[in-house]
Amino acid sequence: MNQRFDRSRLDITVFLLCIMSFVVASIPIAAAVPLHRIKLPEGFSISHFADVPNARQLARGSRGIVYVGTRSAGSVYAVVDEDGDNHADQVHMIAKGLYMPSGVAYRNGTLYVAAVNQILAFDRIDERLESPPKPRIVYDQLPHDSHHGWKFIDFGPDGKLYIPVGAPCNVCIVDDPYGTILRIDVDDGSMEVVARGVRNSVGFTWHPKSQELWFTDNGRDWMGDDIPPGELNRVTRVGQHFGFPYIHGGDVMDPKYGTNARVDDYIEPNLKLGAHVAPLGPLFYTGKQFPPGYHLDLLIAEHGSWNRSRKSGYRIMRARFGPGEQIINYEPFATGWLVGEYSWGRPVDLEQMPDGSILVSDDHVGALYRIFYRQIPKEVE
């Protein structure tokens, strides 16, 4: 056998089943996903929750229904666990043929879906899964560019819908609304820029105590394997500029656009992440199922590199916080989607469930997983 396969210890049978699951529709994805390869801290487990093609952002409705956006699939799904056994009983397609409807958000019985160029709303969706309503257009003033055009959306503590608009390029000079995070009032359509200098954010959340916006940003390509870093940023004032395209990662000058840039003119990241790891959906953990030390820590899905000479990412990381919302450590939480130089899955988004477990979407396999904690029994003395 080829030594490269020997070094990675790749299970050939499982690998081939993963490939076949994309080609042969009759093979259940759950049977082909090698979840035994996922490494978690002691006491944690992972299980298959649902098969959802090209699963991207997740949003939980008031009845426990999990809504799932997609990118290449062009569809939106509703996942239902009727008997509460932590495994989906039904998956409903509630929309199809949309323009990269990656982003989903739920509020007051309405599901909001972000296609590339518009925000759509499905009213009273929980009770209409069998016969979904025709969506109404909430906002249609977004650019049509497909490059970094897919969206991650969510409602903030202020009740407004936050929407990132990525740069339509690897690196270029951009004007509003490109390279920003916007927020709109879904009732009157008014819009405001919250942050600028954002290359391509595909994930954000709010700190449960300070209510400040934290977002991940994907660094530019073609500056080498190790620069620039991905970013975890914190918005402390509306309108702050985070450097793109002039400065990356707080101190890496862009070779074309950063000649006259000054570091002090821009907000530096709260945390520099790995280069090209593609940090996506972040989640502040507020549940009670995980051990107490996880409370208010930040979990980040690293989708994984696409053009690095040696792959990086393909994991879920944990940012541990100390006093004053200061990050004291950044460490792996869930690994194993990358085996040697072969990636069988790519985590995208995280959603906390009522019992304190978290769901993970994987757009490469087309599945949702559930990560949960099982109390370790103490040894009898």
Among 152, 60, 18, smallest CA distance to 359 is for 60
Mean pLDDT, residues 322-326: 84
Going from the C-alpha of 33 to that of each of 14, 16, 333, 339, 367, the distances in angstroms are: 8, 11, 19, 13, 9
Q: CA-to-CA distance for 308 and 317, rounded, in angstroms?
A: 19
Mean pLDDT, residues 29-34: 74
Question: Terminal CA-to-CA distance of the chain, rounded, Å?
Answer: 48
Tokens of 126: 């929980």
pLDDT band (50, 70, 90) for residue 126 = very high
Q: With the C-alpha atoms ordered 297, 301, 306, 311, is the resulting torsion angle positive or negative?
A: positive
Q: Identity (one letter) of the amino acid at 48?
A: H
What is the predicted pLDDT for the residue at 30?
A: 60
Place of tokens 């990636």: 343
Tokens of 251: 């101190």
What is the predicted pLDDT for the residue at 31?
A: 59
pLDDT at 18 over 80: no
- What are the sequence ranges of the domains in the chain? 33-373
Q: Which residues pair with 215 in a beta bridge?
A: 204, 233
What is the predicted pLDDT for the residue at 381?
A: 35
- Asked if the 33-373 domain carries CATH number 2.120.10.30, the reply is yes
pLDDT at 294 over 80: yes
pLDDT band (50, 70, 90) for residue 323 = confident
pLDDT in tens, 41-58: 999 999 999 999 999 999
Mean pLDDT, residues 176-199: 97
Q: Which helix (H) or strand (E) holds 196?
A: strand 191-196
What is the predicted pLDDT for the residue at 376?
A: 57
Give the SS3 label for residue 337. Answer: coil
Q: List phi, psi (to 5°) of 278.
A: 60, 70
C-beta of residue 198 within 8 angstroms of C-beta of residue 179: yes
C-beta of residue 166 within 8 angstroms of C-beta of residue 201: yes
Among 23, 40, 21, smallest CA distance to 32 is for 21
What is the predicted pLDDT for the residue at 322?
A: 87
Which pairs with CB-CB distance under 8 Å and at least 24 residues apart come from 3-7?
4/340, 4/341, 7/340
Which residue spans within 15-65 are E strands per DSSP?
A: 44-51, 55-60
pLDDT in tens, 50-86: 999 999 999 999 888 999 999 999 999 999 999 999 9
What is the predicted pLDDT for the residue at 32?
A: 78
pLDDT at 254 over 70: yes
Place of tokens 């560019």: 145
pLDDT in tens, 328-351: 999 999 999 999 999 999 999 999
- Report the percentage of the chain scoring pLDDT > 70: 90
Give the SS3 label for residue 234. Answer: strand
pLDDT band (50, 70, 90) for residue 27 = very low
Give the SS3 label for residue 293. Answer: helix
Tokens of 342: 């072969």
More confident call, 24 vs 15: 15
Mean pLDDT, residues 258-284: 96
Residues 6+ apart with CB under 8 A from 362: 55, 337, 345, 346, 347, 348, 368, 369
Place of tokens 């209409």: 128
pLDDT in tens, 201-241: 999 999 999 999 999 999 999 999 999 999 999 999 999 99
